[in-house]
Amino acid sequence: MTRSLVVPEIMPRVRVSALDAYFGSAHAVKGVSMRIVDRQVTAIIGPSGCGKSTFLRCLNRMHETVPTARVEGGVELDGRDIYARDVNAIAVRTHIGMVFQRPTPFPTMSIRDNVAAGLRVLGAARPSRAQTDEIVEKSLVRAALWNEVKDRLSTSAIGLSGGQQQRLCIARALATEPRVLLLDEPTASLDPLSTQAIEELVYALRRDTTIVIVTHNMQQAARISDSTAFFLNGELVEMDTTNDIFTAPRDARTEAYITGRFG
């Protein structure tokens, strides 16, 4: 008698179910469902205006901060619906951090205080000053910035280069120890050397963090991601391993995009 091997389903870190996002009557994301695996880099590609960044902002409830914006469908983090009525949006963002296209250091704060800024939302659970210093150092080390700034933590973050500022923003997001890190075209405004530094950082962070990156650069997606999702006109056309998306896409629209026939 032959016994079949039953492999248990691995619960994804993030599960998106029939997600729709609107700006007023404009339907920006249309019925997207996907599973985002833990400790992998998932890249989201597609032409400008296809809903990539809007989708990313739905994953940590940033979308709802825009007037007239609304979301329908579900987003689960480790099995818990982040849009449930009893879930606090700010608490969601401590577990699902986000870094934007342009570096956004707080101009009136020091390097140290920039990294520690996210800890303020913890209220009574906020760490002591000594604990905060340890968190700041750990976050800067993880962001591959500590050796460059350890002797000037009290100086303004504005004095850093563009690439350093972006790594500082990543350190700030890492300070709350998020389970997921969202990156919205994090190298779009950076020079090639700074871009390389960010890509190396993303690749290293995947050892203990789930990362979702929106990128307009398909070569970047191919270099650093484990899986890739292709969006078009607000819809998820297909999602697969990065290797399969770039070498054997199932949908003709994906092939047309990655071969440069549009977009």
> How many Å apart are CA 78 and CA 37, to the nearest integer?
10
Q: What is the CA radius of gyration of the chain?
A: 19
- The full set of domain ranges for the chain reads 14-258
Enter the DSSP assignment of 156: B
β-pairing, 41-45 vs 210-214, is: parallel
What confidence score (pLDDT) does residue 122 get? 72
Q: What homologous superfamily is domain 14-258 in, according to CATH?
A: P-loop containing nucleotide triphosphate hydrolases (3.40.50.300)
Tell me 86's DSSP state. Answer: T
Q: Smallest Cα–Cα separation from 56: which of 17, 103, 21? A: 21
DSSP 3-state of 34: strand
Q: Give the three-class secondary structure for 202.
A: helix
SS3 label, residue 76: strand
95: tokens are 């577990």
Tokens of 71: 């979301």
Tell me the pLDDT of the chain (263 aa) as tens digits. Answer: 444 444 445 679 999 999 999 999 999 999 999 999 999 999 999 999 999 999 999 999 999 999 999 999 999 999 999 999 999 999 899 999 999 998 999 999 999 999 999 888 776 678 899 999 999 999 999 999 999 999 999 999 999 999 999 999 999 999 999 999 999 999 998 999 999 999 999 999 999 999 999 999 999 999 999 999 999 999 999 999 999 999 999 999 999 999 988 76
Q: Give the HSE-up count for residue 59: Cα atoms under 13 Å, Cβ half-sphere.
A: 35
26-36 β-sheet, strand order: 26-36, 14-23, 69-77, 80-81
The pairing of strands 210-214 and 180-184 is: parallel
DSSP state, 79?
A: T
